[in-house]
Chain A
Amino acid sequence: MKLLAVETSTEACSAALFIDGEVVERFELAPKEHTKLILPMIDSLMADAGLKPQQLDALAFSRGPGSFTGVRIATGVIQGIALGADLPVVPVSTLAAIAQDFFDHNDDNVAFVAMDARMDEIFWGVYRRDAQGYAELIGDEAVTPADAVEFPDLTGVGIGSGWGVYSQELTARLPGRVSRYQAELLPRAGAIARLGARGFEQGLAVVVEQAMPVYLRDKVAKTELERRNP
């Protein structure tokens, strides 16, 4: 099983190859440099592995939520490669990738994932470690004010940039449920690759036309009618 994954939804930029259970990753913290870095990263990963795109089994990408433009860069890149090499695609949640990376390096089993979504909101999702060690979503992902997040009856760790911006609101909203938080965790292509490979085995891959971003924030402008009748 060979899968290529890309992640460009935050200030980090990364690409990873999953080859029969092993993950090789390129990762750089590079705000606004994604367009310069992502294809060279992919190219060098593939060259080092001696692979051509047609030799892959599938692709995976962070389908959001995240920076709209960033998510679309990953989507566009993956669509281009999927079309060119005729490959199926596994869309992976950015929040799931943050949780997966956390579970892979910690013993905790529940993560309250919050990414700063600007406009006084966060992208929110609660993840649990499943029996095989994969991040599993509980409930739904949402874009929401930090003081209105919904959560299950569990305790865990807060992770993601939303905890840096809204630690007070989130702590107040989740009294006694959060033992600590790590705001500096960013999504990584390595985790996208692991979740993508798992999704591929579960039959979650889609054809290229269906490899679409998930923005969560779907209302981005007001129609003339809405402006006249607020």
Chain B
Amino acid sequence: MYVLGIETSCDETGVAIYHSEHGLCSHLLYSQVDMHSEYGGVVPELASRDHIRKLVPLIKQCLKESGLTGSDINGIAYTAGPGLMGALLVGAATARSLAWAWQIPALAVHHMEGHLLAPMLEENPPEFPFVALLISGGHTLLVRVEGIGRYQLLGESLDDAAGEAFDKTAKMLGLGYPGGPKLSALAEQGKPQIKFPRPMTDRPGLDFSFSGLKTFTLNAVNASGKTDQDKADVAAAFQQAVAETLSIKCKRALQQTGLKRLVVAGGVSANKQIRASLTQMVAKENARLYFPRLQFCTDNGAMIAYAGCQRLMAGQQQGLEIYARPRWPISELSGC
């Protein structure tokens, strides 16, 4: 079964074609990051306007690169949420009506399910069950994954998402947008001289809170000499605090569930220090760590095509509604 996957939930237009037996045929991504960087962050209306310009050309190109035509495609999967309403609607409207014209099933996919299952696109995918840490600009979740659609939320951020904390801290340090990667680059020049707190690690539970780190950063910057080296040191201390906090919580989640497999996905999972910290932790726990390849850590169409394919193969599909749901708890998903 060939499935066309479409992702437009934020500021990247992703399109991919996945085959149930042969795997990924092609995947394309157009990132709007340069456009939004002029505005210091994602402007939802501009994101929507760009998606509608880019989506159809990307679908055509993806078919061409796969050597396929429309009549080869057996189903369409599109991201229905969570995400920006206007951006989601572009993908949903185009995908749903394309499926209608091709007379094939369409399926609304949960964006975070896409991220959770992204490691399945790799050579040695994890077996179920596993613990998954999803860290992105909009989400920080710890989930126990029993199978497709069988997700138990173990913990989540009570305020800022991990990526959001990176972006906001970067802003305080005078770094441009997107701040996360810039902050990481700066951190490599510094030493974590100051000891940042590890929020919510001193009490039981698997929830996160990153908003306090912003205030701490602000105070640390103000108390410093504000030289470039001082800023690099603050960046290093901040990043270390986030990496260790995530690591402590993941360790707890593994111990609590008794599972030995940890999947880490989402845009922030590209961060080197976070990867290093988690790698160390799983080695001590005798567990195994799974990452999607870097380009599938961030938003992409491949993970949507994959997740959609699993559900479409199980016979799931949706009616003619153009389905978009900006807020959509992952715990509401059903199995297949």
B106 to chain A, nearest CB (A): 10
A72 to chain B: which residues have CB within 8 Å? 48-49, 52, 86, 89-90, 93
Identify A84's interface contact among B89, B91, B102, CB under 8 A.
B102
Bound form: Cα–Cα A38–B93 in Å? 10
With an 8 Å Cβ cutoff, the count of chain A residues facing the other chain is 34
Interface string of B59-71 (1 = CB under 8 A from A): 1100000000010
Q: Does A209 contact B (CB under 8 A)?
A: yes
Q: Given A68-B48, A73-B322, are A212 and B53 neighbors across the interface (CB < 8 Å)? A: yes
With an 8 Å Cβ cutoff, the count of chain B residues facing the other chain is 37
Bound form: Cα–Cα A182–B304 in Å? 47
B98 touches A80 (CB 8 A): yes
A39 touches B97 (CB 8 A): yes
Q: Given A80-B93, A80-B98, A84-B100, are A221 and B48 neighbors across the interface (CB < 8 Å)? A: no
B43 to chain A: which residues have CB within 8 Å? 220-221
B101 touches A85 (CB 8 A): yes
Residue of B nearest to A39 (CB): B320
A211 to chain B, nearest CB (A): 8
A223 touches B39 (CB 8 A): yes
Tell me what chain A mostly uses at the interface: helix, strand, loop, or mixed: helix
Bound form: Cα–Cα A204–B335 in Å? 48
Identify A79's interface contact among B38, B49, B94, CB under 8 A.
B94
Q: Does A53 contact B (CB under 8 A)?
A: yes
B93 touches A35 (CB 8 A): yes
B57 touches A209 (CB 8 A): yes
A76 to chain B: which residues have CB within 8 Å? 52, 55, 89-94, 97, 322
A213 touches B52 (CB 8 A): yes
A213 to chain B: which residues have CB within 8 Å? 49, 52
A224 touches B94 (CB 8 A): no
Q: Does B183 contact A (CB under 8 A)?
A: no
A43 to chain B: which residues have CB within 8 Å? 100, 320
Q: Does A40 contact B (CB under 8 A)?
A: yes
Bound form: Cα–Cα A73–B52 in Å? 10
Q: Given A42-B100, A76-B89, A225-B38, are A35 and B48 neighbors across the interface (CB < 8 Å)? A: no
A46 to chain B, nearest CB (A): 9
A60 to chain B, nearest CB (A): 14
Within 8 A of B (CB), among A68-117: 68-69, 72-73, 75-81, 83-85
Q: List 5 A-B contacts (CB under 8 A).
A: A34-B322, A68-B49, A69-B89, A72-B48, A76-B93
User: Closest 8 interchain pairs by CB?
Assistant: A84-B101, A76-B93, A80-B97, A80-B98, A39-B320, A35-B322, A76-B94, A221-B43
